[in-house]
């Protein structure tokens, strides 16, 4: 990017429910961290607005500076609430945390819908009120997922005619499965939004429910999702989570922009969580050392020649784990090891624990959330499995490629857009893929990967280097977001 960017500057407020390193439960947290930083390098002035959860580590809390406080009307019966603003400036990005003990004092970002619905009704309105309070009116307000989806609705109703009402809005869908659905009277009570927004084209869903994401999609000026393929898929009944017709209706303002990863954090050359750091020039030798270290750390048989498959994932239905469960015994041929890292549904946690018992020394199931271990697996594994039922973008396959670990993925959503299948005739591609959601096809993809690894290591190694060389950074995607902001005339 040139130092002399002649395109007009844009100011953007990001509003979302999580952001690394303050609080992260999945890919949204990574995006809320990396995209604002990439945008600030592309002539954008970015503020990120987040809830001040109790679970944010003290090392960040203690550096926050008090920016002010006010009371805000929220509920239908006139109940008003305290809104505090705590600020933290870091690397060109301003983070403003919305403080309220009643909503955010319980610790974790998400608990259950009964508590989460009021929490994010409050958050959406408080974020806009805070922008007015700070007298900072951005050109664009960029909201993320259902937790911030009421922002465009509030903006065009209660905040129309206030300073922040001049801003344009972009709503990004990171995962359509989660929509913030509850009965109309409850959401009406917690927002005091006018009756007309609860019509069937906006918030109303079915006979008695209100859907916060659906309302946001209607009121936003632009909708984005995190890959081109997912943007198409969500307009079909299979992937549309009951909003496919609504999304088809709004398809003119919908587009897909694939995620990147922060190449500062995910850099095997500087990653101090690895046994040995490496780059493209020494990856073949040093990856072997990382594999050894991983096997030693996890109590697996130590052998340079086995094929190590990693799986770093939330353990939920979305991630295709029933396919893995169905064929894992047939993957275990004495030359293969499987390392799982994840938490989630009890059924999957237990089945992976069972496989660890059944194949001790060859399977290791780490039922936990552990950033450090994730880094060790990306560096020490030969391949990473991402057989998702649906995957809006997926970050783990991008991280894997950056670490020279070959992704084995199902061709859906962002996995399809970012992993080009290996072609043995032309010897190009980045990984192994399969199309239909079928355990036998997953097994076939794993076997194709193993065949190349064991019988044609030269071509495998070339792919390792090709993957490390692939541009998986945020720069290109951030430029597409910046262009989108420029399209939206203030
Ligand atoms: P999703 O957002 O659907 O969970 P993504 O692939 O977009 O999936 O992002 C997952 C992110 O969370 C990646 O950065 C991955 O490394 C991280 N992650 C997932 N599970 C764990 C875990 N158990 N421990 C550490 N990091 C994890």
Cα(421) to centroid(ligand 1), Å: 23
- At 348-369, the pLDDT tens digits run 999 999 999 999 999 999 999 9
Q: Which residues line ligand 1 (CB under 6 A)?
A: 26-27, 30, 312-314, 341-343, 369-371, 374, 394-396
Cα(177) to centroid(ligand 1), Å: 17
**7 Cα distance to chain centroid:** 29
Residue 6: predicted pLDDT: 66
Q: Which residue of 25, 310, 314 sits with most ligand 1 atoms within 8 Å of its CB, as the best mutation to test the pocket?
A: 314
Cα–Cα distance between 113 and 122 in angstroms, integer? 14
Tell me the average pLDDT of the chain: 96
Cα(372) to centroid(ligand 1), Å: 12
- Residue 368 is given by DSSP the state S
Torsion of CA 106, 108, 113, 117, to 10 degrees: 70
- At 124-156, the pLDDT tens digits run 999 999 999 999 999 999 999 999 999 999 999
pLDDT-derived band at 106 (thresholds 50, 70, 90) equals confident
pLDDT-derived band at 91 (thresholds 50, 70, 90) equals confident
Residue 2: predicted pLDDT: 47
Q: Is the predicted pLDDT of residue 490 greater than 80, yes or no? A: no
Mean local confidence (pLDDT), 183-205? 98
Q: Where are the domains of the chain?
A: 3-260+475-488, 283-469
Q: Is the predicted pLDDT of residue 236 greater than 60, yes or no? A: yes
- Residue 317 is given by DSSP the state G
Domains 3-260+475-488 and 283-469 in one fold: yes
Cα(146) to centroid(ligand 1), Å: 19
- Residue nearest (by alpha carbon) to ligand 1 atom 15: 396
Cα–Cα distance between 322 and 305 in angstroms, integer? 28
Q: Is the predicted pLDDT of residue 77 greater than 90, yes or no? A: yes
25 CA: nearest ligand 1 atom: 12
Please give the model's pTM, rounded to 2 decimal places.
Answer: 0.94
Q: Please check whether the domain covering 3-260+475-488 is classified as CATH 3.40.50.2000.
A: yes
- Residue nearest (by alpha carbon) to ligand 1 atom 19: 313
Residue 63: predicted pLDDT: 95
Mean local confidence (pLDDT), 268-282? 98
Among residues of the chain, what percentage have pLDDT more than 70? 99
pLDDT-derived band at 25 (thresholds 50, 70, 90) equals confident
371 CA: nearest ligand 1 atom: 25
Q: Pick the range with the lowest mean pLDDT from 103-117, 186-200, 430-444.
A: 103-117
| Domain 283-469: top CATH class | alpha beta
Residue 1: predicted pLDDT: 47
Q: Is the predicted pLDDT of residue 107 greater than 80, yes or no? A: no
Three-class DSSP category at 359: coil
Cα(369) to centroid(ligand 1), Å: 9
Q: Is the predicted pLDDT of residue 379 greater than 90, yes or no? A: yes
Residue 346: predicted pLDDT: 98
Residue among 225, 240, 170 at smallest CA distance from 27: 225
- At 429-462, the pLDDT tens digits run 999 999 999 999 999 999 999 999 999 999 999 9
Written as six digits, the tokens of 135 are 């007298």
- Residue nearest (by alpha carbon) to ligand 1 atom 20: 313
341 CA: nearest ligand 1 atom: 23
Q: Which residue of 145, 396, 419 sits with most ligand 1 atoms within 8 Å of its CB, as the best mutation to test the pocket?
A: 396
Cα(100) to centroid(ligand 1), Å: 28
Using only C-alpha atoms, what is the Rg of the chain?
Answer: 23
Q: Which residue of 17, 18, 27, 318 sits with most ligand 1 atoms within 8 Å of its CB, as the best mutation to test the pocket?
A: 27
Mean local confidence (pLDDT), 74-88? 97
Mean local confidence (pLDDT), 460-465? 98
Among residues of the chain, what percentage have pLDDT more than 90? 95
Buried b (16+ CB within 10 A) or exposed e, 12-25: bbbbbbbbbebbbe
Residue among 288, 258, 263 at smallest CA distance from 275: 288
Q: 487 vs 1, 7, 163, 169, 227, CA distance in Å?
A: 20, 12, 21, 12, 19
- At 214-232, the pLDDT tens digits run 999 999 999 999 999 999 9
């Amino acid at each position: 990017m040139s130092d002399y960017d002649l395109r007009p500057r844009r100011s953007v407020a990001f509003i979302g429910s999580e952001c690394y390193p303050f609080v992260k439960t999945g890919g949204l947290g990574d995006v809320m961290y990396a995209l604002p930083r990439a945008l600030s390098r592309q002539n954008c002035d970015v503020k990120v607005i987040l809830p001040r959860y109790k679970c944010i580590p003290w090392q960040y809390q203690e550096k926050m500076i008090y920016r002010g406080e006010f009371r805000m009307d929220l509920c239908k019966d006139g109940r008003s609430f305290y809104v505090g603003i705590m600020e933290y400036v870091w690397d060109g990005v301003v983070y403003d945390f919305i403080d309220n003990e009643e909503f955010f004092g319980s610790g974790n970002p998400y608990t259950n819908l009964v508590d989460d619905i009021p929490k994010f009704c409050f958050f959406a309105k408080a974020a806009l009120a805070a922008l007015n309070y700070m007298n900072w009116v951005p050109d664009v307000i960029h909201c993320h997922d259902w937790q911030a989806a009421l922002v465009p609705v509030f903006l065009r109703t209660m905040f129309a005619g206030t300073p922040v009402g001049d801003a344009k809005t972009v709503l990004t869908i990171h995962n359509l499965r989660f929509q913030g659905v509850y009965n109309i009277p409850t959401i009406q009570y917690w927002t005091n939004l006018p009756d007309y927004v609860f019509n069937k084209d906006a918030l109303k869903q079915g006979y008695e429910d209100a859907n916060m994401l659906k309302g946001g999609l209607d009121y936003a000026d632009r909708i984005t999702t995190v890959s081109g393929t997912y943007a198409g898929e969500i307009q079909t009944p299979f992937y549309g989570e009951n909003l496919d017709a609504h999304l088809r209706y709004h398809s003119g303002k919908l587009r897909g922009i694939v995620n990147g990863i922060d190449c500062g954090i995910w850099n095997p050359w500087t990653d101090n969580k690895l046994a040995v750091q490496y780059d493209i020039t020494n990856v073949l030798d040093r990856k072997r050392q990382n594999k050894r270290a991983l096997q030693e750390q996890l109590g697996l048989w130590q052998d340079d020649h086995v094929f190590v498959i990693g799986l770093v994932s939330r353990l939920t239905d979305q991630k295709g784990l029933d396919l893995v469960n169905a064929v894992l015994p047939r993957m275990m041929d004495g030359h293969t090891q499987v390392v799982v890292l994840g938490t989630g549904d009890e059924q999957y946690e237990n089945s992976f624990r069972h496989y660890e018992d059944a194949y001790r020394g060859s399977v290791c199931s780490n039922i936990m959330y552990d950033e450090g271990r994730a880094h060790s697996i990306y560096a020490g594994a030969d391949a990473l499995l991402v057989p998702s039922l649906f995957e809006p973008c997926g970050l783990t396959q991008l991280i894997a490629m950056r670490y020279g670990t070959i992704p084995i993925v199902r061709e859906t959503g962002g996995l399809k857009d970012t992993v080009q299948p290996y072609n043995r005739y032309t010897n190009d591609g980045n990984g192994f893929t399969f199309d239909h959601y079928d355990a036998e096809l997953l097994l076939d993809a794993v076997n194709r990967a193993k065949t190349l690894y064991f019988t044609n290591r030269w071509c495998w190694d070339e792919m390792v280097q090709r993957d490390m060389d692939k541009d998986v950074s945020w720069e290109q995607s951030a430029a597409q977001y910046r262009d989108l902001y420029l399209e939206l005339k203030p």
